[in-house]
Amino acid sequence: LLTAAQHCNEVQGSEVIRRFVDLVSRKKLRGKVLAVPFANLPAVRARRPHIRMKPEQPYGDDRGHNMNRTWPGKKTGNDTARVSYAIYQAFGDEATHVFDFHCWEKHAAPAVLIRDTPELRELAAKLGHRFVHVSTPNNITIGGYSCSTGRVGVTYEFSGQYVVVEEQVKRGLRLVTNFAKAIGILGGTFAPIHNGHL
């Protein structure tokens, strides 16, 4: 399961998913790719990071609408929790692996985020990315919730919000392609990313 744009100002992953789906549609797969390129569509339509956000609200003032803190959602929750719930009901139980795209708030080196387990460290090493950040375990992000239920959850943070940068997209596409190869959906050799260069 590929997800992006839980925050509508984090759109680089949406373009990666579009290109990845186009790429794998021409290849033989061992498994299935589920893709949600605009997870928080109400926020995307409103051009706000979160649902119900006003123009003057700081990004961190989500008022309970940070979608990345609502998984697996709640049928009777607020608007954001209900969107998470609908997505999870449609795809969540079927997904054995989750790759969730985000973008750092500030300019920082892009990084793969994982829990500290030997299996995830081994998987992260295969992805070929220079930076891997070991995150504190949680059960409220889609990746964290997946890990807490015995599945694989990985997050990737691009550098830069509100924009789609070609170099970032190419890096993300190579990364998710390596992920698909590492978990056995695609065949072929890994294409490493060295020092930020493709």
Q: Is the pLDDT of residue 196 over 70?
A: no
194 band by pLDDT with thresholds 50, 70 and 90: low
When pLDDT is cut at 50, 70 and 90, the band that residue 105 belongs to is: confident
Structure-block tokens of residue 60:
């961190």
